[in-house]
Structure 1
């Protein structure tokens, strides 16, 4: 189910174009991980969020996404994605 949800949501609803910025919330979960991978495959710049620094490190270091931040440690959640994009 996460695969179909990720695929349909990303390609059918989001319909990104190469070079666009994509923000993925809850990026270390099953759907979020796949959406982030689809976004990278489509040539997008991906900013992701997770709830712990360990998950943020995993997203950036192991999965190779462009940026990630810990939403629990951010003072301004509206500004964080803009700052990283």
Structure 2
């Protein structure tokens, strides 16, 4: 059971990271990811990019539920909550 939750957690983190990269590509004004992230931090919209990136977790979550892999879905949910908490911390530090 713990292994299945850990797999779901890893899938959730990877999906959020890929979603962030996709959001950077779509909404960034430069081809340099580092430059886009620096601008996002400076202008205060990094948390918005992170939130958009976490939307890919919805797909992973519902896919695991459809396949009756509830423990993996729980891991994706935990990863999403971690992204949420990180987003809140970054938002309120600025």
TM-score scaled to structure 2, two decimals? 0.25
Structure of larger gyration radius: 2
More strand by share: 1
Question: When you count helix as a share of all residues, which structure comes out higher?
Answer: 2
Greater RCO, CA 8 A, separation 6+ = 2
